[in-house]
């Protein structure tokens, strides 16, 4: 296997900004930041790197939460990190990523928000099941995938923002 990426924490300042923007409070924020775990694979045969929740939360059916993970990924060019719900959470509770699949491009690392990976989840249960997640539990899995370019690719644009910053106007 070839090494093509490295997970890191965003700065405390970036994490604090995104946390307060999301939750409107900053109680115990240094403790939360210090307890953030970098994504890891569960077994040597796992393709996915588990992202862990920095907080405990419950989601009733149809409820949504946006989670600042405190994580960024430095990824080699021609690779992308694709994020999916952890299999068990999707299967048991229909826990879904709001954008269906999170696509983290290699240049996102250099964006204005330090490439901070935010996860937005919805409990899409049609069986009235409540999802309870403990702090430190795996919530999504990220898989690195290589991609190619077309012969006539002529893109010269450079990213300077976070989510939605590469949309053609």
> Would residue 153 count as lying in a domain?
no
Radius of gyration of the chain (CA): 16
> Would residue 140 count as lying in a domain?
yes
> Would residue 160 count as lying in a domain?
no
Half-sphere exposure (Cβ direction) of 56: Cα atoms closer than 13 Å: 1
> Would residue 37 count as lying in a domain?
yes
Q: Are 5 and 73 in contact (CB under 8 A)?
A: yes
**Number of structural domains, the chain?**
1
How far is Cα 132 from Cα 122, in angstroms, rounded to an integer? Answer: 12
> Would residue 158 count as lying in a domain?
no
> Would residue 163 count as lying in a domain?
no
> Would residue 152 count as lying in a domain?
no
Residue 116 is part of which domain span? 5-146
The predicted model scores a pTM of: 0.89
Q: What is the pLDDT of residue 163?
A: 53
Q: Which residues of the chain have pLDDT under 50?
A: 168-169
At 125, which CATH number? Answer: 2.70.40.10
Q: What is the pLDDT of residue 26?
A: 79
């Amino acid at each position: 296997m070839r090494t093509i990426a490295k997970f890191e924490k965003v700065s405390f300042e970036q994490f604090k900004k995104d946390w307060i923007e999301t939750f409107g409070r900053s109680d115990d924020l240094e403790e939360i930041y210090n307890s953030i775990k970098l994504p890891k694979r569960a077994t040597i045969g796992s393709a996915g790197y588990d992202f862990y929740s920095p907080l405990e939360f419950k989601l009733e059916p149809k409820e949504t939460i946006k989670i600042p993970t405190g994580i960024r990924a430095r990824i080699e060019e021609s690779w992308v990190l694709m994020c999916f719900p952890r299999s068990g959470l999707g299967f048991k509770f229909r826990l879904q990523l709001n954008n269906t699949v999170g696509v983290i491009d290699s240049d996102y690392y250099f964006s204005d928000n330090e490439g901070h990976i935010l996860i937005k989840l919805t409990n899409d249960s049609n069986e009235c099941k409540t999802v309870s997640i403990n702090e430190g539990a795996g919530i999504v899995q990220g898989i690195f995938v290589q991609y190619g370019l077309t012969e006539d690719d002529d893109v010269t644009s450079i990213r300077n923002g976070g989510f939605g910053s590469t949309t053609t106007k």
